[in-house]
């Protein structure tokens, strides 16, 4: 198991990336769309406010970007750490 330290570093990097993504995931949906909506109520979007837009459109779009970003970063990281499928 000569490559063991590498695997640990790979896993730590994965956890870091997942954490960042999930913080954004929570902020846009639970934050902007629900709990922080009153704070954003000053920003008008098409007859309502930014929070409403995040609740019905924005969150879903951010989720999409997050998953593709994660897939791209991880697939690149697999190669950098030499743990990709051959």
| Site membership for another protein, residue 85 (CB under 8 A) | yes
| Site membership for another protein, residue 23 (CB under 8 A) | no
How many angstroms separate the CA atoms of 20 and 14, rounded? Answer: 10
Q: Please work out the total of residues on this chain that contact another protein, with binding judged by CB under 8 A.
A: 42
In the complex, least distance from residue 6 CB atom to another protein, rounded to whole angstroms: 9
Contact footprint for another protein (CB under 8 A): 7, 10-11, 14, 18, 21-22, 25, 29-30, 33-35, 37, 45-49, 52-53, 55-57, 59-61, 63-64, 66-68, 70-71, 74-75, 78, 82-86
């Amino acid at each position: 198991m000569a490559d063991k330290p590498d695997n640990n570093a790979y896993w730590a990097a994965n956890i870091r990336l997942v954490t960042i993504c999930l913080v954004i995931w929570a902020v846009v949906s639970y934050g902007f769309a629900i709990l922080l909506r009153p704070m954003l109520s000053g920003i008008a979007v098409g007859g309502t406010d930014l929070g409403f837009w995040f609740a019905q459109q924005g969150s879903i779009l951010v989720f999409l970007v997050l998953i593709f970003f994660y897939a791209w970063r991880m697939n690149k990281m697999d190669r950098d750490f030499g743990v990709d499928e051959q």
